[in-house]
Amino acid sequence: MHRFLLHRALLPDGWHDDVLVAVDAQGRITAVTPAAPEAGAERIAGIVLPGLPNLHSHAFQRAMAGLAEAAGPGADSFWTWRETMYRFAGRLTPADIEAIAAQLYAEMLQAGYTAVAEFHYVHHQPDGRPYDDPAELSWRVLAAAEAAGIGLTHLPVLYRHGGFGGREPQPRQRRFLHDSDAYARLLDKLVPAFAGRADRRLGIAPHSLRAVSPDLLRAALAAIDGIDAAAPVHIHIAEQIAEVEECLGATGRRPVDWLLDQGVVNDRWCLVHATHLTAGETARLAASGAVAGLCPTTEANLGDGLFPAVEFLAAGGRIGIGSDSHVSVDAAEELRLLEYGQRLTRRGRSLLADGPGRSTGRRLFDAACRGGAQALGLQCGAIAAGCRADFVRLDDEAATLAGAGGDAVLDAWIFAGQPVSPIRDVWAGGRHVVENGRHVRAGEFAARYRQTLRRLAEQ
Ligand code: ZN
């Protein structure tokens, strides 16, 4: 048992001073008592926020951020970016994937993300044959998360088809592919690594409606239900107009309508992107209890379009944020861009605030904590008994936070963009993993990462 005394902290019911937090050996909070100064506890000065869950990550893509920005011949688009990504993914070794993920997860912790849902789809050798251990690349991701100290919801991806109607996959997709039996075996193999762990959860990720047939979707759900009937289920959906049109052509229904028609979507689901929604789909998705997994910087980078956040939140919809392709690893930037996208198209301000006089930053931060924790299926995202002890300490001496109190701190953190983040320290599961702005193993991870990227650049 360890005790922390938080000088000023954001609890589920608002801001409190001198918050005594008891944490057990598993890194879980057992009690939270405001206004309880105690001499023997480890004191955390400044302003403490709960760690944010990052609900969508493809770790290896961090290493190609910035490498797909020179327009090729013809129009550059999501689909040409995907070709670059396939070429890049085709060359990575298991050690590369671990090195990239460790660096990324350390960067996430430095940015205030203390848990991540890894949508993990590179499974096999470059020629498509499984590794001797078919879970090899999952183990690499788990090892990276363990080394960095970040909470992990691991979502092995089921990928089988190259398009709607059961189209055969392309050769470049061969590292991703499973049939339903091989996929179920992969899940079974992973189960023991999650038993009794407060900081890990195993879920599934049927890649998308274009990559997984209706039968396969049902098989994947049956496989995970046999392991954990409440496990998270994540899927990419309605990210691009072309995908919506192909779905309409193949099924007569738009993707979100089609998925909701199956009668399986509930609060264990995270629909990643869900960018292109009709008013009817927006209301249906909000009523389903599922989380819309928004990745604003990636969606901007890929030219996806804009999620109808104002309508979705007004309908009681749940959202969380992810850094997805990792063109940015900065929670404040994701939240800012989420709001700014709405401002630019609607020509208004404070559009996602919870009513007149209410803080936009607080609404966004609370929604992302709650929705993110739900999507990850982990007890996290709040400084509360039962949750993982994930604390993000902002430096109250930072110039951008000077004079800010209460929710204005969140508005300043999110909307006063700054070259140096005010995040000074981070504890994940009660462990002090970021000290003075830097992950405790940053030097070691960065050295391996640089070596990996230089080698890949020479190939
Ligand atoms: Zn994605």
Complete DSSP assignment for 93-115: -HHHHHHHHHHHHHHHHHTTEEE
In angstroms, what is the span from residue 234 Cα to ligand 1's centroid? Answer: 10
Chain centroid, CA 334 distance in Å: 11
For β-strands 2-11 and 42-50, DSSP reports them as parallel
Is 404:113 a contact under the CB 8 Å cutoff?
no
Going by C-alpha positions, the residue among 329, 312, 444 that lies closest to residue 66 is 329
In angstroms, what is the span from residue 387 Cα to ligand 1's centroid? Answer: 27
Beta bridge partners of 156: 120
Chain centroid, CA 147 distance in Å: 18
- The angle formed by the CA atoms of residues 99, 103 and 106, to the nearest 5 degrees, is 140
In angstroms, what is the span from residue 324 Cα to ligand 1's centroid? Answer: 5
CA atoms within 13 A on the CB side of 402: 4
In angstroms, what is the span from residue 299 Cα to ligand 1's centroid? Answer: 10
Is 390:43 a contact under the CB 8 Å cutoff?
no
The residues whose Cβ lies within 5 A of ligand 1, an ion, are: 324
Active site residue: 96, 199, 304, 324, which one? 324
pLDDT tens-place values along the chain, 459 residues long: 899 999 999 999 999 999 999 999 999 999 999 999 888 999 999 999 999 999 999 999 999 888 888 776 567 788 888 888 888 889 999 999 999 999 999 999 999 999 999 999 999 999 999 999 999 999 999 999 999 999 999 999 999 999 999 999 999 899 999 999 999 999 999 999 999 999 999 999 999 999 999 999 999 999 999 999 999 999 999 999 999 999 999 999 999 999 999 999 999 999 999 999 999 999 999 999 999 999 999 999 999 999 999 999 999 999 999 999 999 999 999 999 999 999 999 999 999 999 899 999 999 999 999 999 999 999 999 999 999 999 999 999 999 999 999 999 999 999 998 788 999 999 999 999 999 999 999 999 999 999 999 998 887
Active site residue: 58, 123, 161, 273, which one? 273
The token pair at 437 is: 């702005």
Beta bridge partners of 67: none
pLDDT of residue 66: 86
Is 170:83 a contact under the CB 8 Å cutoff?
no
CATH number of 52-376: 3.20.20.140
Residue that is written with structure tokens 């969508």 in the block: 56
Residue 313: CB atoms within 10 Å = 21
Residue 311: CB atoms within 10 Å = 14
Cα end-to-end span (Å), the chain: 50
**CA–CA separation, 321 vs 363, rounded Å?**
13
**CA–CA separation, 69 vs 303, rounded Å?**
12
Going by C-alpha positions, the residue among 126, 137, 51, 52 that lies closest to residue 101 is 137
For β-strands 151-158 and 233-237, DSSP reports them as unpaired
Distances (CA, A) of 308 to 14, 271, 305: 28, 14, 10
The token pair at 381 is: 């995202």
The token pair at 350 is: 């404070």
As to burial, measured by CB atoms within 10 angstroms (0-12 exposed, 13-18 middle, 19+ buried), residue 86 is middle
The token pair at 130 is: 């499984």
In angstroms, what is the span from residue 56 Cα to ligand 1's centroid? Answer: 6
Residue that is written with structure tokens 């089988």 in the block: 160
Q: Mark whether 324 is an active-site residue.
A: yes
Q: Mark whether 161 is an active-site residue.
A: no
Going by C-alpha positions, the residue among 117, 102, 106 that lies closest to residue 53 is 117
Beta bridge partners of 234: 270
Is 153:376 a contact under the CB 8 Å cutoff?
yes
In angstroms, what is the span from residue 119 Cα to ligand 1's centroid? Answer: 7
**Rounded (10°) CA dihedral 350, 397, 333, 342:** 10
In angstroms, what is the span from residue 78 Cα to ligand 1's centroid? Answer: 12
Secondary structure element (H or E) that encloses residue 205, with its range: strand 205-206
Look up the pTM and report it.
0.97
In angstroms, what is the span from residue 100 Cα to ligand 1's centroid? Answer: 17
Distances (CA, A) of 46 to 11, 112, 300: 15, 15, 33
Going by C-alpha positions, the residue among 65, 131, 51 that lies closest to residue 390 is 51
pLDDT of residue 122: 96
Phi and psi (nearest 5°) for 386? 100, -25
Residue that is written with structure tokens 């109607």 in the block: 165
DSSP character string of 387-414: SB--EEEE-TTSGGGTT--TTHHHHHHH
CATH number of 2-50+383-439: 2.30.40.10
What ranges do the domains of the chain cover?
A: 2-50+383-439, 52-376
Chain centroid, CA 212 distance in Å: 22
